[in-house]
Amino acid sequence: MGSKLESTEHSTPIVETENRSSSTSHNSSIKDNENADVENARGSAAVVPNWKPSTHELLIMLSLAVISLMVSLDASIIITSLTQMTSELGGTATEGFWIGTSYLLTNAVFMPVIASLSDIFGRPVCLLTSLVFFTVGSIVAATAKTMMTLLVGRCVQGIGGGGITILALVIFTDIVPLRFRGKFYGIIQAAWAIGSLLGPVLGGAFAKNTAWRWVFYLMFPFCFVGFATIPFVLTLKPKTETLGTKLKRVDWTGYALFISSMTSFLIAISWGGVQQPWDSWRTIVPLVLGVFGLILTGFWELYRAKEPFLRRSLFYCPSAFAAYLGTFIQGLMMFGCLYYAALYFIAVRHTTFLQAGVDMLPQALALVPISIIVGGLITRANRFRWAVWSGWLIATIGTGLLVIWGANTPPTAWIPIMMTVGIGHGLILSAQNFATQAIALPRDEASAAAMYAFLRSLGSAMGVGIGGSVFQNTMAVKLKQYGLPATIAKNAESYISVMWKDGIDPVVRTQSIDAYVFGIRGTFAFFCGMGGLAGIASLFIKHFDMNKELDSDHKLGQMRGSRSPKQQHPLQGSDEGKSVQSSTRN
């Protein structure tokens, strides 16, 4: 049966290819079949029926939404309660900085490893293990008597949070066809958005009443729901293998190289120019070791690993490079702008922690509905580039407008600006996610989802550190102009209380506020430039059809406690789905 594949955005002819003999190595197989795979990835794979999730699949989505809300809440609630935690535990500004950074660091570093382990040992085991890590970390942090104990708890929380975040995305690739992920992943995005929206407000409220430990106590009900539902509803089963076979598949060397080198690299990036000068050995040594280790990791994954967890095939074309670059930059911009917007409200406008959380709501209130609506539109239209392009344009313009914020900027000015930023990122959030999966080669969709989550978290982890370096260097310029100590920039968070004390010279206060404004503007300008770079890169993303067969090694079994047999949906690895797809290619 012949068919002509057409698109208003990009037209791709089907190229007839002869069957090729199987290669002895994974890498050469990718190279030999690259041209055919590109056509398969771009071409219309099938006429997809109106897929609808079963009750079982909806319960999985809701369970993932609950624990995703928990992780989102935990990541954002800390922003407006950091100062109170540091003060009560007698921590330094450096230790306060690491309360947030340690979580982001471990969150990003362990994501690819956990996703890879879930391919081998199964999604349920790895998701429950991640939930255990998050729960233990929350207990340690909630009961901490010292800053060191709190930091340990945050690191453990980060490992669990990273696993939950990445597996929620990966599990969707196992149960929902790509064409419909934009529509139904809105459930998870709504949960994330609600957490991001409520987090700063709740964190500020707890900090105001010196009840910061409730930041972590609040996580326990969500953990309970996760433990009560996931073992019963998440019945995805991996390939049947012996434990010995599974252990042999684990890329032990690759994991060790990646975790150690990425940790070293992120530590250097996080404190370089913020706590330690860039030319200090404390920055140079971990940075050099991290870069060298990452190069070694890449070499190992390309040429030595039997089953690499970092797949070269994910970056097989310019569209993939552009999409993943945009993913990283969005993480960098979103978290960085959120952090320095909070600093603006607290330092420049002298709001309470609670009020700062409320003031940041406009961005989240715009982002939530836009991301959900865009997901549905992508499903309906089978097009994602329009959202990527318009999203980067709006987000870049909105971030650029943040530069006009000053000491006396009225709400009638900063509220629309924050909403503009939220609209832009709402467009990108849905489109960028599914763009990476649409671009992915057959059987690489789960890995593409994992890479998307990792790069976005990596950007978030680096956003505060890189933004902090820009902020301090820019603020120091203005401080020197006023004859004030440049060291104030290195202790910007702790100096806020000093600056607003009664009895301080009004001239010094005014000059200090102006220095904060100058530093924050410089940081927003940097993020605006990064948005422009991502927008330009997005122009190289070509159209890829989203009508792909649902093809996963992890098959959904019968829900525990249910007597009815599991009904297989169209395109879930069925013979009918495969025959439909095959007919469109012949």
> Please, what are the domains in the chain?
51-238+549-581 (1.20.1250.20), 252-305 (no CATH), 314-548 (1.20.1250.20)
Overall average pLDDT of the 291-306 stretch: 92
Nearest 5°: CA angle at 498, between 496 and 501? 110
pLDDT at position 374 over 70: yes
Closest-CA residue to 391 (of 181, 535, 248, 493):
535
Closest-CA residue to 364 (of 289, 285, 419):
419
pLDDT, residue 460, reads 85
pLDDT, residue 386, reads 95
Torsion sign, CA atoms 430, 435, 438, 444: negative
- Euclidean distance between CA atoms 311 and 297, whole angstroms: 12
Q: Give how far the C-alpha of residue 531 lies from the chain's centroid of Cα atoms, to the nearest Å.
A: 16
Closest-CA residue to 471 (of 530, 398, 511, 525):
525
Which is more confidently placed, 94 or 291? Answer: 291
Overall average pLDDT of the 257-261 stretch: 94
- Euclidean distance between CA atoms 584 and 293, whole angstroms: 45
pLDDT, residue 298, reads 92
Candidate ranges 1-5, 75-79, 321-325; pick with highest mean pLDDT:
321-325
pLDDT, residue 61, reads 94
Asked if residues 432 and 168 have their Cβ atoms less than 8 Å apart, the reply is no
Torsion sign, CA atoms 338, 361, 134, 323: negative
- Euclidean distance between CA atoms 149 and 235, whole angstroms: 36
Which long-range CB contacts under 8 A does 135-143 form with residues at least 24 apart? 135/160, 135/219, 135/220, 135/223, 135/227, 136/160, 138/74, 138/216, 138/219, 138/220, 138/223, 139/216, 141/216, 142/213, 142/216, 142/217, 143/213
Output the six-digit token pair for 485.
């100590």
- Euclidean distance between CA atoms 212 and 214, whole angstroms: 5
pLDDT digits (tens, 9 = 90+) for 443-480: 889 999 999 999 998 998 888 778 888 998 899 999 99
pLDDT digits (tens, 9 = 90+) for 315-329: 999 999 999 999 999
Overall average pLDDT of the 139-159 stretch: 93
Torsion sign, CA atoms 496, 500, 503, 509: positive
Q: What percent of the chain has pLDDT over 70?
A: 87
The rounded radius of gyration (Å) of the Cα atoms in the chain is 24
At 47, is the pLDDT very low, low, confident or very high (cuts 50, 70, 90)? Answer: very low
Closest-CA residue to 165 (of 194, 197, 191):
191
pLDDT, residue 273, reads 67
Overall average pLDDT of the 189-210 stretch: 80
